[in-house]
Each structure stands twice: as structure tokens, then as C-alpha cells.
Structure 1
């Protein structure tokens, strides 16, 4: 998109913000409309112009075009490359910090600008950083509630270009770095970034009381557990429970096995070796963190009325629980079955699901037999 087109878009944004400042009664509605316009997906005709690589053309990075391309992607790139163009818009947004959509608009339009410009005032930098985290939190929750990934490019930028790059992350205050880490921990599985978890844990900022709260893995799992308890959208919850298998290997360690392993060549006392392993690798979870996640997953395995997890959620939660915590797998299932037998009104549904499962298993087995038999018959004819 040419600079003239982007300049026209920025002027239109400035006019709507000016109307919002001048009309306090209509301010919230105007900001909501502006947020919807900025987050709007670019149509195919405009996308052909935006993706072009020519002089006087500003386009988002190529890796951001894989998902839905929105207007905020292009505008954020424009304001980062030409910082003076967004100065008036930023001044208008600052006047409306208390409005609910102001931080959302700031996060979408100025998330790249914040890490490209040099701000000498520490208070202003802290305010902008806090607005970025708050706005990103709001828009990521919009994606969860609508089960879309319209703001995936924002998450990808904050993760790959900020958090995993120490020089970039250090541009914002320490408190903002911690808030950013907590934010990305909650939404990493939703935006399919589980493969970045190892690098993400290594770049964890320093938290106060780390000795009591645990290492990076504990912080990550704690935020993830809190996120699971807040999810109410079934497809999103199923996605989280399916992606949580990335934690396999951090749950089933027994520090007693580590302490007294024959392969241990460190001549340290047992507890010193345990703490050495935990804080050097960053992958050993505290027992309280592991128990908290186990309790959260177990809460999704209890069927019931309308406010209880659905059958699909229960089955997926059982799979995640058995995968992450294999010890005690069969006793858990026996206890669950025992408690289900205490409620007779569950028996019809349990029997029906069992019959349905058996019928489907028999039909699938017969179908496989018929297909294999048909393949054997058809093979000589083709030859």
C-alpha cells in the first residue's frame, strides 16, 4: 500500500479520534467503531496492493501474511517506519486512556512503534508498556471468545520479535517485561506456539520471590492453569487440552529418582542436588504447581448438568491427565467410575455411551475386514 493511501487512513483515524474527544457521550461508541475498523480484515483486492514490494510501498513482514491480514498489521508497520505520522493519533489516544477501547487501539497500532522509538521519559514508557499489555490481553480474549485468530500476528510479534530478543525486551520496564511474560504464557497454546516453549522459558525475566514461586516452568504452568479455569468456549478448551501435551516430561519426574540415580556423578547432598537440577534446567516443576494443574485437569473430567464440562471435554481432559500424570492412572478411573455409580441418573447416559462405543467399534472392525478382503480380491484382477 502506498504511503499516500496509508496517510489517508491515518487521517481518517485522526478524524474519528477527534470526534471521540469532542463528544464525551459518544466516545465509547466511536472508539468501538474505530477498533472494529482497524481490526477489519483486508479484502483480496486491497491485499494485492499491500503485498507488492515496490518503492514508496509499505507492507507488513512476509511471515505475518500467512494468517488473516488486517488493517492494523499494515498501519502498525507504517507507524513504526514513519514514527512522526502517528504522533497526533497517539496524543489523541492518551487523552482517552480511561476508555475501554483506547488500550486496544494503542496495542494494535503502536505495538511495533513502542520498540522502534526512543523514549527518554521512564513514566511515559511505563504507561505505554502497561497499555500495550492491557490492550493485547483484551484483543487476545476477543479471539478466544469468538474462536478466531485475527490477532495472531500481534501475538507472534510480541513473542518472536520482542520476548525472544533480549535487546528488544529490555526496552520496556522490568514490570512490563514480567507482565508480558505472564500474558504470553496464557495464550501460547491458543496461538499454536508450543514449539517455542523451550526458548520462551530460557528468556524468562527475573521475578521477585523466585525461590518461593518457582522457576520459569512453574510460572508458565501456573498461568496456564489459571487460563484453563477461565475458558468457557468449548472448541478453545478442547484445543488447550490437546496442546497441553507439550508439557509431557515436566510432570512425571520424581526427585527421589533423580537424587538417588546411579548415573548421578555429583557428590552433593540429596536436597542440594535437587535444587541444582531444578533451577539449572528450569524444567522441574514444584509439587504445588504440578498438583494445581492435576486438580484443574481432574475438574474437567466430571460430567453433569448444563454448567459442567461436555463429554468431549471430559474425554480430552482424561487423555491429557493420563498423559501428563501416568502415575495413578487406573486408580483415578476406578474412583471416577465409583462416584458415577453413586448417581443413578447418570446410568442411562453411561450405558448408552458404552453401547454406542461398542457398536461403532464393531462396525469399524467389520469395515476394515471388508476393505482388506476387497483389496485381496481386486489385486489379482488388476495384475
Structure 2
């Protein structure tokens, strides 16, 4: 239960301020905290909220941010305790908490948290600032982690841990190897879950988490060595599966250079082969058309990559499976064309025989003939109209038809 009143005790002799919470219990967690901090800031008094020294993070925070983070941490703690006490509502409470910490920081909260609210271009989420807070104040997150550990097997527990403590894990010293492995595994699992949410929703809401794991952990040996070797391998496999989603393929060479050793490397090959195996597995799992089209458009950067014959064949087979209608992939027409483009670009040798063979097999499925003929007619009309337009308006600004 959320308390009906909250007393903010002043350090001077003036009476304390009592805030009514009756109309706030239906608000989201960040909204309630923003209200509290705005109310506190409106009274020019020093409230008896414990302040603590902070190590300067990548963002410049205001003096009021300490009160904000304290209130927000208390709300997170309360919701986790409610989840522990109520098994029937546990899933819903954890889902609500996950949604709260994944919210974008609105303008009011930015003014409270940041010294210069304009210093951040683009979106800033609550998990970004909370992760900084827990990484800078290592002891502040311990009670929350203890509660999450008790909810370890519940849905959304790993999501919350990954969002809130992905920076804390690489700053704190964990004495127990088993506990460190447990934290590291939860981080990888939770990160994978939230990245899949981005795929399902066709967004990049958790890109900052991915960038941190890639640029500040995987490519920094000092931080990478803080987690067990098995967790390092799992982390690199995770990054291999989602690096195209967040348009960070320019980091591939550095990623290959820092790849940890795998015990079966003599069987599967080097870092590039491991990366391609994970990528092909990821492609076969994708069922969202925009995400699949995005992967197929980015995969062309792999041209010229030295691979084992088995890995190259694996990639070729994976792409070829998207070029034919029907099962098991049931690709749309846009996906089939994107797969053909990627396949012909990466493996130009034999592209004409491949198309002839594909056409022959298409003839074995008469129910696809009407749609194929109709699309062929539309494509021809587009090409003719485009050619006429080029003759009438000879300019380079005209874009060719989509083939």
C-alpha cells in the first residue's frame, strides 16, 4: 500500500510539510517521484533527505538529483517488497516496475536531474540515470539487488536487473565467484530479453544498454575481465546477435579482435565464424518483417570476410531459405527480394544458376503463379513509367523503381 501522507521534515524549526498521496497512487512510479521533488523544490528549505557524495558520471547532475534518486529508489524498493508479499500479483507488479524504469525521462524530470537539460540530444530513459546512480553509489543498490535475487525466477526480474545494474556490476567488487557468475548470467539474460522487445516493437529503446555492453565492456579488457570467462563468451554471443539491430556494424573488426577463446574453436573456427553462426541462428528466429529486412540490409557489410567453408555454406543456406515463398519461413515478397539482394551481393558466383533453379521450383507451385504474374506486370509498368519520366525530366533526382 502507498502511504496516504508523506512528511518531509525540515532541518529548521518550521513545521513539516505534509503531502497527500491519495490521488497519486494510480500514477506511474517516475510521475510520483517527479511530483515529490517538484514539491520539495518549491519550498526553499533544506529537507532532511540524506545527501551523499557522488562520483561524477557521464552526465552532470543537479543538487536536487540526490533527493530525486533517494525517493525513486524507495519507490522501487516498495514495489519489489509488494511483489514478494503478493504471489498472485507478482508478475503484474514486476511488469509495472519494468515499464516504469524503461520510461523516457520527461522535461520536468530532466530539469530536476540534469544540470543542463539540453546536454542530452534525443531520448533519455530512467534506467540510464538510475544505472549511473547505482554505479556511482555502490551501496545504494544493495537492498534492491537482495530483493531481486529473491525474485530471480520470476518474469521481468532479469529485465529489471539488467537495466538498473548493468554498470554497477562492473564497478563493484563481488567476492563470491558463484554470486558473480549469477549476476553476470542474469545481466546477459535480461539484456537479451529487452533487446528482443526492441525487435518485437521495431524500436531501439534499449540502444544505450547495448552500446554500453559493447563499447564500455566488450571492447575494454579491464572491465571485461571482471566477469567470469563463461559470462564473457555469452556476452559476445549476445552482441553478435543484436549488433546489426543497433547499426553498430562498424565495430565488427574491434569485436572480432576482443573475442574470447572458445573451447571448440578448432571445430567451428575463429571469431568471424562464431559471429556468423550466431547471426544465422538469429536470422532464422526473426519473425518481424521490419527487423528481418533491417538485418538483411546490414548483412552486406560481411562481404570479404574470411570464413570457413562450412560457415560460408551455413550463411548461404540461411539466406537462400528466405528466397522461396512458403514454409518453413513463409517470407513476404519484400523479404524474398532483400534476401536475393544480400545473397547475390555476398556470393556473386553462381547467382544466375541460382535464379534459374529458383524459377524452376516456383513452377512447381501453381498457386503462386497469379501473384507472381501480377507483381511482374506491376514491375514492368513501373520500369516503363520511370523510363518515360527520365526522358521527359532528365534529372538525377528521379529514383528508380523498386525491383
Q: TM-score, normalised by structure 2?
A: 0.80
Identify the residue that residue 140 of structure 1 maps to in structure 2.
Answer: 195
**RCO higher in 1 or 2 (8 Å CA, sep ≥ 6)?**
1
Structure 1 residue 67 displacement after superposition: 4.7
Q: Which residue of 1 aligns with 2:134?
A: 79
Larger mean CA deviation between 322-331 and 40-49 belongs to 40-49
What is the SS of the residue equivalent to 1:8? helix
Unaligned runs of 5+ in 2: 1-60, 398-403
Considering fraction of residues, name the structure with more helix: 1
Count residues in correspondence.
333
Distance 1:296 1:18 in 2: 46
What per-residue deviation string (whole Å, max 9, x for no partner) do you get for residues 222-242 of structure 1?
A: 000000000000000000000
Matched residues in 1 for 2:138 and 2:363: separation? 66
Change over 3 Å in CA distance of 1:208–1:351 after alignment to 2: same
Cα pair distance change 1:195/1:66, threshold 3 Å: farther
- TM-aligned CA deviation for residue 329 of structure 1: 0.5
Q: Tell me whether 1:164 sits opposite 2:219 in the alignment.
A: yes
1: distance between equivalents of 2:371 and 2:92? 47
Q: Is 2:77–2:143's contact at 8 Å kept on the other side of the alignment?
A: yes
Shift of 1:366: 1.4
The 8 Å contact of residues 225 and 293 in structure 1, kept in 2 or not, is answered as yes
Aligned match of 2:344: 322
Q: Is the 8 A contact 2:322 2:329 kept in 1?
A: no
Secondary structure of the 2:232 match is: helix
2:36 aligned partner: none
Deviation at 1:121, TM superposition (A): 1.3
Q: State the match for 1:209 in structure 2.
A: 264
1:306 Cα offset (Å): 11
The Cα of 1:307 is off from its aligned counterpart by 6.2
Counterpart among 156, 160, 163 of residue 101 in structure 1: 156
SS at match of 2:98: helix
| Distance apart, 1:44 and its partner CA | 3.0
Q: For the aligned residues, what is the CA RMSD?
A: 1.9
Contact in 1 for aligned 2:134/2:165 (Cα 8 Å): yes
Report Cα offsets for 1:214-266 as digits up to 9, x if no partner.
Answer: 1000000000000000000000000000000110112xxxxxxxxxxxxxxxx
Q: Deviations over 1:140-170 (max 9, x none)?
A: 1111111111110000000000000001100
Segments of 5+ residues of structure 1 without an aligned counterpart are: 54-58, 251-283, 376-383
Q: Indicate the residue corresponding to 2:90 in structure 1.
A: 27
Q: Distance in 1 between matches of 2:189 and 2:328?
A: 32
Where in structure 2 are the equivalents of 1:227-242 lying within 5 Å? Answer: 227-242=282-297
Q: Tell me if 1:292 matches 2:314.
A: yes
Q: Secondary structure at the match of 2:287?
A: coil
TM-score using structure 1 length: 0.84
- Deviation per residue, 1:318-353 (Å, 9 max, x gap): 000001111111000000111112222222222211
